[in-house]
Structure 1
Amino acid sequence: MDLDLTWLLWGLPIAFAAGWLASRLDLRQWRIEGRQAPKAYFRGLNHLLNEQQDQAIDAFIEAVQGDPDTAELHFALGNLFRRRGDYDRAVRVHEHLLARADVKGKDRDRAQHALALDFLKAGLLDRAETALQRLEGTDFEGEALLALLAIYERSRDWPQAQQIAQKLEHTQQGSFATRLAHYLCEEAELALRAGQMDRARERLEEATRQAPQLARGWMALSALQNQQGDARAALNTLLQLAHQAPQGLPLAAGALAELARRTGQEAAVKTILQTANARGPALDVTEALAQLAASPAEARDRYLEHLRQEPSLVMATRWLADEPLSDAAAQAPVQAALNQASSPLQRYRCAACGFEASQHFWQCPGCQSWDSYPARRVEEL
């Protein structure tokens, strides 16, 4: 039986034409969908650039509904919700991404990180902690550890904060020696309140070994030694501060002068304070030298010497306090006016946020930055 090749000759062109037509239809459909989805996306982007967040959210929601598999649109939508403070909706968007089986790898880690940020912004620290812990071993681990560190600091969980700081140091995220020393000092304060003197001393001694350049450890250890009746050891500790952490000497100058008087070491301490003032006069160091003066006249000479080196309303007020005016009746109101004018200059100011306080803080109560308060007063900055 002979094979009829006529059907084969007609069939091949017909099959080719059908395939070409089908591909054209698919391509046309793809183009139509492609035009529609970006239109909503770009409209949302335009609103976002114009800081019209509500309109941008509406546009992105439309784009997501048109293509629910687009992870990037979900991320954009979730970030917009978080920025405008709508944390519940941001959480739902990112939890939806995590629930999807097709979101894997870096996108899944990114969604987990975004969810942790949602919880942080909403103040749900326990849920944020759990979300951040799940980022261990991912590209977001460094950011997650820093966020966990902030959480433990806010909750004053110092042992946990120490563990995280040590992890960060091991992963070469920078040096956390000073931060670790602060945590040890915080633990020592808690131990002192509980009457655990030995534990407090142990923590403070470890803090001075961990970060000898931090004045806080030396000052707290000296105060503890003084509290336990060992004034000579307390003085020696502050002398180590003057050597190891000279930038913190103004904070310890008053206690140093008091301990020098009690132990009969005025001459040695005077030399240290005068040497420090020769490098750059400090209000608290000059005040400590005045405390160690043998007479009121010598104390006034200290104030005058400071004024010769550096103009200071605070020191001028101190000097004028014992200088009688020609009109005796004017002495009290003039002195009161000078005291009031110089009072704001004796505050401490955070270098990070500008928060001012009458006392020195190791951690700013305003912005929570560590060591952002210089040891010098506002007038000296």
Structure 2
Amino acid sequence: MANDAVAGDTLRVAPAQPEATDDPVHGVLAAFTNDLVQGVDDTLAAFLAAEVASLTEIDAAMGGFASTARDCVLAGGKRVRPTFAYWGWRGGAGGDEPLQPVLPALAALELLHTFALVHDDVMDASDTRRGRPTAHRAAAARHVAAAHVGDPDRFGEAVAVLVGDLCMVWADRLMSRAAVPPARLLDVRRCYDRMRVETIAGQYLDVLGENDAANWSVDRALRVARYKTAGYTVQWPLIFGACLAGGGADAPLTAAYTRYGLAVGEAFQLRDDLLGIYGDPVATGKPAGDDLRTGKPTALLMLARQLATPAQRQALDRAGAVTGAREVAGLAELVTDTGAVARVERMISDRVGEALAALDTTSIDGAARTALTGLATAAAHRRA
């Protein structure tokens, strides 16, 4: 869809028939997001083209750097955060409000997400993201190809940090273009700032857990999920959307979005924990078993240790030290044998039920209710 196709009052994102696909969850998600995702992508592409051109004027090398950041943003992804923000907005604004004035704010959340992903990949020393080399690995490879002096890995990490920083600034710049009253935009900004602070808090706890696994627990792993994932993936985007609609002070709506968002966000992270061990690399874009190779103290692995026999726990102590595919597969099977996978699946189902119950506690636009019902299941049972 061209930029002018999303202008004015004509764009509506309404439920459609799920597209034909081997993945029913993808079909549900697509039914509620296709037009919105295209609008977000068009907004990002137009904004980033101008930003890259501006930075290229500083120095040709800056153009290449800015293009790297742009490519990280446009490399793919399901646009989950703008989607939840859209339905948070729609739930408060109803179906008659035009989308175009708030589209820059929705798209800005994807820039914030890219900031978090790029930095997260550096902290996790990840090699791939969405089936492509991560930003720091790609920059290191370019360092080698250009025969630059110095440590290519160190250079790659420095470049990735700057890419993430630039995306954070870009998010602020794009959000400021939302055509809503200044007082309302200030409320949106307060929500956005709190979301960013809590995301960083969750990220720090995630890093701490990897370096203090002996003192970690299921409760602390779920706290990481709540702040690192649930808040900035579902809860705060929903409230962000409500603020865009001018309903941020609506206590029943905010309470329902908070309850729904935390439940769906935790289910989203718990599914991520499962995908981190059992996911199909073709779908996830990352190697299977990464969490076992790093010994990441996810809720799944903490539960496995809690439920394990002494012999199983001794084997689980090897997580973080395994490298071979056969070793990883053996540990993955052991985690299943402890009953942890079945327990996490029940936890996911319980949280989806909690989220759907939350929607019954407030009055929201009917299309938004239908979409959020579908998205709760889609987010919790995705394959990537």
| Greater relative contact order (CA < 8 Å, ≥ 6 in sequence) | 2
TM-score (norm 2): 0.20
